[in-house]
Amino acid sequence: MKEEATMSTPTILDGINIDELITDAVLEEYWRRGYWVSPKLFDDEQAAELRQAQERLWRGEHDSNLPSQYGVRAVDPGSPDVRQQCNAFWLSNAIGKVTTSPLLGAIGARLMGVETVRLWHDQAVYKPGVGPDGGDELAGNIGWHQDYGHWRSSSATNMCTAWIALQDTDLQNGGMRTIVGSHKWGLLEDSNTFGHKDLGGLQARFANQEISGDWIDEPCILEAGQVSFHHALTLHGSGPNLTWEPRMCLISHMMPGDTTYQPDAQWHPNLVFLGPNARAGQPFAGAYWPQMWPPID
Ligand SMILES: O=C(O)CCC(=O)C(=O)O
């Protein structure tokens, strides 16, 4: 019998060949270290446009009338506090185009090892600069935490977060830091600590738990448009922005397409969108959790 020639079509999105990008070595690194940093996926012009889109968001200029209160940490202009807007994709078309993109979805699918990817939620995060003398200022800190520590009401512990740098980012401007390999430590107690400010205290608390490795604190040094992808159990956090420019990023929290509701004492703003009679096993699917991969026309 004549064998049929099978030639798979390469997955090329926004000019990026996903098959060439996500090699076995990349998968090995992601699963060994709990995160992986991509080359530039967005150019400087796109990064500048997305910074402007974020500035519009903070000015309250929204592209829809949907409510912004689900997961917002809004602060007065001039405050050194971190600003955070979850579900920014409802409010800004430019941001949504990126945070729900097939490009990130296809990469997320490969890293998680799943066929289908939906957005769990996205975030726009803005960390004001407090200048070089602001080292004692804790307001810009984002506490060591595990993303899944906030998401215990979902069935997927292996979600993948894409953190998109909108300017060159390093320790000076409060870039993200990850604890290498910490995804292998399992879910730590009370690790829903994004909003905590005492990085040293949190480190001591987590290091007192049963962690099975060294505390290796590694900065994610990124050029504008590079993306860091991390596992939902990887500990990460960040310190103050000691420049005078804001540190901005977009974050896309991606989940396997079959993720469902798992009742837990912990509440999450996403649960509202399941409706009043949410039941165990109910899929997080539909317009609030758009499918990113494969793309739907
Ligand atoms: O922006 C940061 O420094 C932390 C972001 C974060 O917690 C995340 O991407 O899950």
Atom of ligand 1 nearest to the CA of 176: 3
| Ligand 1 center from residue 59 Cα (angstroms) | 22
Asked whether residue 5 is assigned to any structural domain, the reply reads no
Asked whether residue 270 is assigned to any structural domain, the reply reads no
Contact (CB, 8 A) for 14 and 105: no
Pocket of ligand 1 (CB under 6 A): 125, 142, 147, 161, 163, 176, 194, 236, 238, 249, 251
Atom of ligand 1 nearest to the CA of 249: 1
Q: Give exposure, 227-261, as e/b (b: 16+ Cβ within 10 Å).
A: bbbbbbbbbbbbbbbbbeebbbbbbbbbbbbebbb
Give the integer Cα–Cα distance in Å for 28 and 36.
10
Asked whether residue 170 is assigned to any structural domain, the reply reads yes
| Ligand 1 center from residue 233 Cα (angstroms) | 13
Determine how many CB atoms are found less than 10 A away from the CB of residue 62. Answer: 16
For residue 87, with 0-12 CB atoms within 10 Å meaning exposed, 13-18 middle and 19 or more buried, which class applies? Answer: buried
Confidence of residue 10 (pLDDT cuts 50, 70, 90): confident
Question: What CATH number has the domain bearing residue 100?
Answer: 2.60.120.620
Asked whether residue 109 is assigned to any structural domain, the reply reads yes
Asked whether residue 293 is assigned to any structural domain, the reply reads no
The stretch 176-191 carries a mean pLDDT of 96
User: What percentage of the chain carries pLDDT values higher than 70?
Assistant: 96
| Digit-coded pLDDT (tens) for 61-119 | 999 988 777 767 767 778 899 999 999 999 999 999 999 999 999 999 999 999 999 99
| Ligand 1 center from residue 6 Cα (angstroms) | 42
Residue 4 pLDDT > 90, yes or no? no
The stretch 138-162 carries a mean pLDDT of 97
More confident: 189 or 7: 189
Asked whether residue 288 is assigned to any structural domain, the reply reads no
pLDDT for 47: 98
Asked whether residue 32 is assigned to any structural domain, the reply reads yes
Q: What tokens appear for 82 in the block?
A: 């971190």
The residue segments making up the domain with residue 41 are 17-256
Quote the number of domains for the chain: 1
Atom of ligand 1 nearest to the CA of 177: 3
pLDDT for 7: 62
Asked whether residue 276 is assigned to any structural domain, the reply reads no
Give the integer Cα–Cα distance in Å for 297 and 276.
30
Confidence of residue 273 (pLDDT cuts 50, 70, 90): very high
| Ligand 1 center from residue 223 Cα (angstroms) | 16
Task: Tell me which of 120, 199, 249 to substitute to probe ligand 1's pocket, judged by most ligand atoms within 8 Å of the beta carbon.
Answer: 249
Atom of ligand 1 nearest to the CA of 175: 3
- Residue 57 to residues 53, 92, 165, 241, 249, Cα–Cα distance (Å): 6, 7, 17, 21, 13
